[in-house]
Amino acid sequence: MRIEQLEYTVEIAKTGSITLAAESLKISQPSLSQAISSLEEELGIKIFKRSKIGTHLTEHGKEIVIKAQEVLNKMNELIETANLQQSLIAGRLSIASAPSICQSILPKALISFKKKYPSIELEIMEGDSPKIIKHVMDEKVDIGILAEFSNYGESNKYLLYEKIFKNKIMACVGKHSPFANKTSISLNEIFQNPVICTSKALINFLNKYGQPNYLFKSSNLEGAKNIITHGIATGFYTEASLKIDPYVSSGQIIPLEITDAGMNEVSYSLIQLKTNQSIASKEFKKEIKDQAIIFKRLYGL
């Protein structure tokens, strides 16, 4: 039995005609008929009934075609896997990410991806959404990962935009803060005390709700956390990043839910140029989506 005999069988079943199947397969009718006869003889059953109105499957033939298609599908999967591995032997994949992703699901995704494809060189950089989108548009990076209060990149006709998951924004206070014993807090309460902001997007968003008393604005997330631990200011971080934060686990920082509607949620999204769909980037996107699912289940998000 040969693979081409299975291909011939499936094609005849599809067309209902040896003539049409031969044309589609680009072989002669006698060669096709001989191949099918040899297969029938080898299996000891009749696969087709031949008549003046066409070629039809026998009852046994119907079962044979189903199994033949399964074998061909597996064969195609094997070829695709081999081609994928060959194309990923070496190369480079660059990613620009929001800092909160770098503190949650991205590290696991990078480790898992690198184990599967050790010869792929990975380059990671952090930035806010406008910077990430510009890097993707300028083809400086292959993939962007955004954390946004609104779908900033979704209206861009040149970008492929895929949501990973949504996450809460939490207000973070130190254990010596006057808010440390609370479980939730309003923006009005937060704005009565100093605030630390770590992104332009967050600053713009907070300004829509009032006039925050900014202690300072910085892109240094870890430095801001150190200030928060002293209880002199409130900061804002995603719930996902706080699940594995050492300041939170040690009790130095207490996350509080924000009660204001519309303020307490951020969307994580993947962006990529529609014209830049490499196999490596597709595989990485699968990996980070899988890791997002695992992370959400693990921490009940």
Residues 23, 101 share a domain: no
How many structural domains are present in the chain? 3
User: What's the pLDDT tens digit per position in 63-108?
Assistant: 999 999 999 888 887 876 776 666 666 678 999 998 878 878 899 9
The two three-digit tokens of residue 61, written as one number: 């033939």
Q: Which residue, of 87, 118, 134, is where some domain finishes?
A: 87
So what's the pLDDT on residue 222?
79
Residues 195, 146 share a domain: no
Residues 170, 253 share a domain: yes
The two three-digit tokens of residue 51, written as one number: 């008549």
* CA distances to 95, 115, 280 from 135, in Å: 9, 27, 18
So what's the pLDDT on residue 208?
82
Contacts 24+ apart (CB under 8 A), 262-265: 263/169, 263/187, 263/205, 263/209, 264/168, 264/169, 264/170, 265/149, 265/166, 265/167, 265/168, 265/169
Mark the ranges of the chain whose per-residue pLDDT is less than 70. 80, 83-90, 150-155, 261-264
So what's the pLDDT on residue 263?
66
So what's the pLDDT on residue 153?
46
Provide the residue range defining the domain that includes 224: 166-265
CATH of residue 116's domain is 3.40.190.10
Residues 261, 123 share a domain: no
So what's the pLDDT on residue 253?
94
Residues 212, 149 share a domain: no
Rounded CA-CA distance 88/113 in Å is 11
Residues with Cβ within 8 Å of residue 156, at least 6 apart in sequence: 133, 137, 271
Q: Which residue, of 66, 87, 108, is where some domain finishes?
A: 87
Residues 187, 42 share a domain: no
Q: Which residue, of 43, 66, 87, is where some domain finishes?
A: 87
Residues 278, 249 share a domain: no
Residues 200, 56 share a domain: no
Contacts 24+ apart (CB under 8 A), 229-233: 229/174, 229/175, 229/253, 230/174, 230/176, 231/173, 231/174, 231/175, 231/176, 231/177, 231/178, 231/180, 232/174, 232/194, 233/193, 233/194, 233/195, 233/196
SS (H, E, C) 15-77: HCCHHHHHHHHCCCHHHHHHHHHHHHHHHCCCCEEEECCEEEECHHHHHHHHHHHHHHHHHHH
Distance from chain centroid for Cα 243: 20
pTM (predicted TM-score): 0.65
N- to C-terminal Cα distance for the chain? 52
Residues 68, 192 share a domain: no
So what's the pLDDT on residue 173?
94
So what's the pLDDT on residue 88?
61
DSSP string, 148-181: ESS-TTTT-TTEEEEEEEEEEEEEEEETTSTTTT
The answer to whether residues 254 and 177 touch, using CB atoms and an 8 Å cutoff, is yes
Residues 110, 54 share a domain: no
